[in-house]
A and B are shown apart, each in its own frame.
Chain A
Amino acid sequence: MKPSIKIRIVDTLIGFIGFAIVIFIWWYAFQNQKAGTYLIPSPVTTFKKLTVLFFSGEIFIDLYETLYRMLAGYFLAGIFGISCGLLLGSFPFARKMFDGTIDFFRSIPVTALYPVFVLIFGIGSNSKIAMIFWASFFIICINTTYGVMQTNPIRRKMAQLYGATWFQIFSRVTFYDSLPHAMVGLRVALSYALIVSILTEMFMGSQYGIGAKISESYNLYQIDAMFALILIAGMLGYFFNIIFVRIEKKIVGWKFNAD
């Protein structure tokens, strides 16, 4: 049953208390930083800078660049990760064959592969997208594989008993039954995609992008702008998570009530 509007408003307000406490700690740290230093800007200056960035419109090109690379890498990883996961989960032989390989490659920190991607894809967007893909792919693939492996055997038997072919069992039972696990992979990978997107902009060099602008403001010692941009990165992750939870509930809402 859905909670009443009153309860939802109260819950939201309680949620804001957490933010208020963090802002207070921030303000306290700003007030008490060593005299003559400017390591932490005031929350007010930062929020002012944030509004300037949005209202002047100068942040939108950076947002676009970050999101474009992030979503391109993420969606490619989603398509390939789910496909590979479904195959590995369905065929034990394939799983045995690639289990060690996948474990090995996913253990390599994506940052260590940065020179390889630059050599192959150049210094433009493609190498960044490839890194985002790499970071997201294994999480989605492994979760989908486990999802397929853990599908309910009674459901498969039921379909088999009613005359389903292998493909019908796969497409009408196994696929749907593995979706909740695949969604967990997609959700974790979404955070990774944003992290790697910003990271690559900061360290691989880029004219535009939230990461590039954080790096630029750090180099120019524009501390308030740097904090405002970090807040934007945080907001992006936060809103993506909210959107994803809604989509997840729409697609696999049954999982929260069934089984």
Chain B
Amino acid sequence: MQIKLENINKSFRSKDGEVKTIFKNFSLSISEPDFMTIIGPNGCGKSTLLNLISGIEKADSGSIELNNKGRSLGSIGYVWQDYRSSLLPWLNVYQNIEFPLKLRKIEKTERRRIVDDLLNEFRVSFSPQKEVYKLSGGQQQLVCLLRSVASNPSLLLCDEPFSALDQSSRWTMAFYLEQLWLKKKIPILFVSHDIDESILLGNRIILLNKSAQVDEVLVNRLPRPRNIEMLSSPEHIKLRQRVIQFMKVNGAIQDGVST
């Protein structure tokens, strides 16, 4: 698996006509099927990066390649922070998960097999016939996760997927995501504001500075599967200190105040 971004330029025009440049000649190459997390200060372009890779947004110039080819629609899974908006509330759990498969006109029996396998593999405790809006936040995000991998994507992008969840659902879902990565071996690019979550989940932690350039790539060698106790491990604490230092330099943390 290879993601290759070369000389990407991207700017936005605000309502008052002001042009804000997010990426200027940005390049990034990822060649391993890894669990990568991205940390950076607000407005450094983390979400824009995911949107560019997915094709939701177009770069002003530059090239993006996935497995030495251009991106094809349906080859990337995406999990949004706003799970309520990304689910289709008029469909039930089962229908939401099979939605990408239906779009690709996969046969009914095959769709059923894929969705049933996913539901069994991840021991989904709620009924697949249940309306999605009747589920808890964590359960709804789980449906989004399962939907994002139903079509067997070659890359999974997660844009702060757990930040709208309460603390306990957040960690449950984080470890669900790890399980999913371990079982499916789909490369993951994960953006989060939460330093602990990013370090604990990632194998490699990309530090994106306020000028939208890769500052450093940290490697987390903690064994898999990971657990909450690892938050107090020396390796985690060491990485945490490095990330905090990076955030301070980039103005994201000022004397105990996170911005």
Q: Which residues of A contact B (CB under 8 A)?
A: 152, 154-155, 157-164, 168, 172-173, 176, 179, 252, 254-255, 257-259
Instruction: Report whether B76 and A161 are in contact in the complex, using a CB–CB cutoff of 8 Å.
Output: yes
Closest Cβ–Cβ distance, residue B164 to chain A (whole Å) = 13
Which chain A positions have C-beta within 8 A of B72? 163
Tell me which of A162, A176, A254 contacts B100 (CB under 8 A). A162
Instruction: Report whether A157 and B73 are in contact in the complex, using a CB–CB cutoff of 8 Å.
Output: no
Compute how far the CA of A256 lies from the CA of B84 in the bound complex, rounded to whole angstroms.
13
Which chain A positions have C-beta within 8 A of B88? 155, 172-173, 176
Compute how far the CA of A159 lies from the CA of B88 in the bound complex, rounded to whole angstroms.
10
Apart from A154-B86, A168-B103, A179-B90, 14 more pairs, CB < 8 Å: A155-B86, A155-B88, A158-B86, A161-B55, A161-B74, A161-B78, A162-B74, A162-B99, A162-B103, A162-B104, A164-B103, A172-B88, A254-B90, A257-B134
Q: Could you say which of A152, A158, A179 has the most chain B C-beta atoms within 10 Å of its C-beta?
A: A158
Encode contact with A along B202-244: 1 for CB under 8 Å, 0 otherwise.
Answer: 0000000000000000000000000000000000000000000
**In the complex, how many residue pairs between chain A and chain B have their CB atoms under 8 Å apart?**
63
Contact size class for B?
20 to 34
Instruction: Report whether A259 and B56 are in contact in the complex, using a CB–CB cutoff of 8 Å.
Output: no
Interface: B43 (CB within 8 A): no
Q: Which residues of B contact A (CB under 8 A)?
A: 54-56, 72-74, 76, 78, 80, 82, 84-90, 99-100, 103-104, 131-134, 151
Instruction: Report whether B80 and A255 are in contact in the complex, using a CB–CB cutoff of 8 Å.
Output: no
**CB closest chain-A residue, reference B150:** A162
Q: 24 A-B pairs, CB-CB below 8 angstroms? A: A152-B85, A154-B85, A154-B86, A155-B85, A157-B56, A158-B86, A159-B103, A160-B73, A161-B73, A161-B76, A161-B78, A162-B100, A163-B100, A163-B104, A168-B103, A172-B99, A176-B90, A179-B90, A252-B90, A257-B133, A258-B89, A258-B132, A259-B85, A259-B89
Sorted from nearest, which 5 A-B pairs have the closest CB atoms? A163-B74, A258-B89, A163-B73, A162-B100, A258-B133
Closest Cβ–Cβ distance, residue B152 to chain A (whole Å) = 12
Which chain B positions have C-beta within 8 A of A172? 88, 99, 103
Which chain B positions have C-beta within 8 A of A154? 80, 82, 85-86
Q: Could you say which of A164, A168, A252, A259 has the most chain B C-beta atoms within 10 Å of its C-beta?
A: A164
